[in-house]
Structure 1
Amino acid sequence: MEVKEEESSGTPLDLFLKIGLDERTARNTIANNKVTNNLTAVIHEAGVTEGCNRTIGNLLYMVATKYPANALIHRPTLLGYIVSTKIKTPAQLEAAFSFLSSTASESFELKEFEEACGVGVEVSEEDIEQTVNEVFKQNKGLILELRYRINGDLFGHVRKRLPWADPKIVKKLIDAKLYELLGERTAADNEKPSKQKKEKPAKVEDKKVADENPVPPSEDLNPFLIFPNPEENFKVHTEVFFSDRPVLRCCNTKEVLDKHLKRTSGKVYTRFPPEPNGYLHIGHAKAMFVSFGLAKERGGCCYLRYDDTNPEAEKKEYIDHIEEIVEWMGWKPFKITYTSDYFQELYELAVELIRRGHAYVDHQTPEEIKEYREKKMDSPWRDRPIAESLKLFEEMRRGMIEEGKATLRMKQDMRSDNGNMYDLIAYRIKFTPHPHSGDKWCIYPSYDYAHCIVDSLEDVTHSLCTLEFETRRASYYWLLHVLDLYQPYVWEYSRLNVTNTVMSKRKLNFLVTNKHVDGWDDPRLMTLAGLKRRGVTSTAINAFVRGIGITRSDCSTIRLERLEYHIREELNRTAPRTMVVLQPLKVVVTNLESGLVMDLDAKKWPDASTEDSSAFYKVPFSRVVYIEQSDFRMKDSKDYYGLAPGKSVLLRYAFPIKCTEVVLADDNKSIVEIRAEYDPSKKTKPKGVIHWVAEPSREVDPLSVEVRLFDKLFNSENPAEHEDWLSDVNPQSKVVISGAYAVPSLRDAAMGDRFQFERLGYFVVDKDSTPERLVFNRTVTLRDSYGKSGK
Structure 2
Amino acid sequence: MVEALDLFLKIGLDERTAKNTIANNKVTSNLIAVIKEANVTNGCERSMGNLLYTVATKFPANALMHRPKLLEYIVSSKIKTPAQVEAAFAFFTITGSEDLDISKFEEACGVGVEVSIEDIEHTVDEMFEEKKSAILEQRYRTNVGDLFAHVRKKQPWADPKVVKQLIDLKIYELLGEKTAADNEKPVKKKKEKVVKEEEDKTIIEEEINPYLIFPTPEENYKVHTEVYFSDRPVLRACNSKETLEKHLKRTGGKVLTRFPPEPNGYLHIGHAKAMFVDFGLAKERDGYCYLRYDDTNPEAEKKEYIDHIEEIVSWMGWKPFKITYTSDYFQELYDLAVELIRRGCAYVDHQTGDEIKEYREKKMNSPWRDRPISESLKLFNDMKNGLIEEGKATLRMKQDMQSDNFNMYDLIAYRIKFTPHPHAGDKWCVYPSYDYAHCIVDSLEDITHSLCTLEFETRRASYYWLLDALSLYQPYVWEYSRLNITNTVMSKRKLNRLVTENYVDGWDDPRLMTLAGLRRRGVTSTAINAFVRGIGITRSDGSMIRLERLEYHVREELNKTASRAMVVLHPLKVVITNLEPSSVIDLDAKKWPDAPNDDASSYYKVPFSNVVYIEQTDFRMKDSKDYYGLAPGKTVLLRYAFPIKCTEVVLSDDKKTVVEIHAEYDPFKKTKPKGVLHWVAQPSPGVDPLKVEVRLFDKLFLSENPGELDNWLDDLNPESKVIIPCAYAVPPLQFAEVDDKFQFERLGYFVADKDSTPEKLIFNRTVTLRDNYGKASK
| TM-score bracket, shorter-length normalisation | 0.7 to 0.9
Name the counterpart of 1:373. Answer: 360
Aligned pairs for 1:584-733 within 5 A: 584-733=571-720
Work out whether 1:408 is the aligned partner of 2:373.
no
8 Å contact kept, 1:586–1:627 = yes
Work out whether 1:510 is the aligned partner of 2:478.
no
The whole-number CA distance in structure 1 between the counterparts of 2:768 and 2:150 is 21
The whole-number CA distance in structure 2 between the counterparts of 1:152 and 1:520 is 47
- Tell me: CA distance 1:524–1:143, structure 2 relative to 1, closer, same or farther (3 Å): closer
Task: Provide the secondary structure at the position in 2 that maps to 1:327.
Answer: helix
The whole-number CA distance in structure 1 between the counterparts of 2:457 and 2:235 is 9
Name the counterpart of 1:307. Answer: 294
Work out whether 1:763 is the aligned partner of 2:750.
yes
Cα shift at 1:607: 2.0
- Tell me: CA distance 1:408–1:634, structure 2 relative to 1, closer, same or farther (3 Å): same
Work out whether 1:735 is the aligned partner of 2:683.
no
Aligned partner of 1:363 among 343, 347, 350: 350
The whole-number CA distance in structure 2 between the counterparts of 1:309 and 1:488 is 21
Task: Provide the secondary structure at the position in 1 that maps to 2:418.
Answer: coil
Q: Percent identity over the alignment?
A: 78
8 Å contact kept, 2:636–2:676 = yes
Over the residues paired in the alignment, what is the CA RMSD in angstroms? 2.9
8 Å contact kept, 1:143–1:150 = no
Task: Provide the secondary structure at the position in 2 that maps to 1:423.
Answer: coil
Cα shift at 1:666: 2.4
The whole-number CA distance in structure 1 between the counterparts of 2:489 and 2:534 is 21
Cα shift at 1:368: 1.1
Aligned partner of 1:447 among 422, 434, 439: 434
- Tell me: CA distance 1:503–1:622, structure 2 relative to 1, closer, same or farther (3 Å): same
The whole-number CA distance in structure 2 between the counterparts of 1:240 and 1:216 is 41
Name the counterpart of 1:561. Answer: 548
Cα shift at 1:671: 1.8
The whole-number CA distance in structure 1 between the counterparts of 2:21 and 2:217 is 34
Matched to 1:718, the amino acid is N
Aligned partner of 1:785 among 766, 772, 778: 772
Q: How many residue pairs get matched?
A: 612
Cα shift at 1:669: 2.5
Aligned pairs for 1:186-265 within 5 A: 202=150, 213-214=199-200, 215-239=202-226, 250-265=237-252
Work out whether 1:286 is the aligned partner of 2:273.
yes
| Residue range with higher mean Cα deviation, 383-392 or 679-688 | 679-688
The whole-number CA distance in structure 2 between the counterparts of 1:149 and 1:349 is 52
Matched to 1:550, the amino acid is I
Task: Provide the secondary structure at the position in 2 that maps to 1:572.
Answer: helix
Task: Provide the secondary structure at the position in 1 that maps to 2:537.
Answer: coil
Aligned partner of 1:492 among 453, 476, 479: 479
Name the counterpart of 1:532. Answer: 519
The whole-number CA distance in structure 2 between the counterparts of 1:268 and 1:722 is 42
- Tell me: CA distance 1:237–1:666, structure 2 relative to 1, closer, same or farther (3 Å): closer
Q: Please report the TM-score for the alignment, with normalisation by the length of structure 2.
A: 0.75
The whole-number CA distance in structure 2 between the counterparts of 1:412 and 1:726 is 40
Work out whether 1:580 is the aligned partner of 2:561.
no
The whole-number CA distance in structure 1 between the counterparts of 2:293 and 2:19 is 54
Name the counterpart of 2:317. Answer: 330
Cα shift at 1:461: 0.5
CA offset digits 1:742-770 (Å, max 9, x no partner): 00010100000000000000000000000
Greater C-alpha radius of gyration: 1
Matched to 1:571, the amino acid is L
Cα shift at 1:470: 0.4
8 Å contact kept, 2:237–2:468 = no
Name the counterpart of 1:753. Answer: 740
The whole-number CA distance in structure 2 between the counterparts of 1:349 and 1:250 is 19
Matched to 2:389, the amino acid is E
8 Å contact kept, 1:502–1:719 = yes
Cα shift at 1:202: 4.8
Matched to 2:448, the amino acid is T
Work out whether 1:519 is the aligned partner of 2:503.
no
8 Å contact kept, 1:250–1:490 = no
Cα shift at 1:637: 1.2
Cα shift at 1:236: 4.0
- Tell me: CA distance 1:304–1:146, structure 2 relative to 1, closer, same or farther (3 Å): closer
Aligned pairs for 1:113-132 within 5 A: none
Could you list the runs of 5+ residues in structure 2 that have no partner in the other structure? 29-81, 87-144, 154-194, 229-233
8 Å contact kept, 2:227–2:465 = no
Name the counterpart of 1:388. Answer: 375
Matched to 1:438, the amino acid is G
Cα shift at 1:611: 2.2
8 Å contact kept, 2:581–2:610 = yes
The whole-number CA distance in structure 1 between the counterparts of 2:374 and 2:573 is 88
The whole-number CA distance in structure 2 between the counterparts of 1:354 and 1:237 is 27
Cα shift at 1:664: 1.4
Q: Please report the TM-score for the alignment, with normalisation by the length of structure 1.
A: 0.74
CA offset digits 1:626-653 (Å, max 9, x no partner): 0000000111111111001111110011
The whole-number CA distance in structure 2 between the counterparts of 1:493 and 1:151 is 26
| Residue range with higher mean Cα deviation, 549-558 or 625-634 | 549-558
8 Å contact kept, 2:227–2:461 = no
Cα shift at 1:519: 0.3
Task: Provide the secondary structure at the position in 2 that maps to 1:516.
Answer: coil
Cα shift at 1:240: 12
- Tell me: CA distance 1:146–1:530, structure 2 relative to 1, closer, same or farther (3 Å): closer
Could you list the runs of 5+ residues in structure 1 that have no partner in the other structure? 1-90, 92-130, 158-195, 205-209, 242-246
The whole-number CA distance in structure 1 between the counterparts of 2:653 and 2:210 is 67
The whole-number CA distance in structure 2 between the counterparts of 1:377 and 1:147 is 61
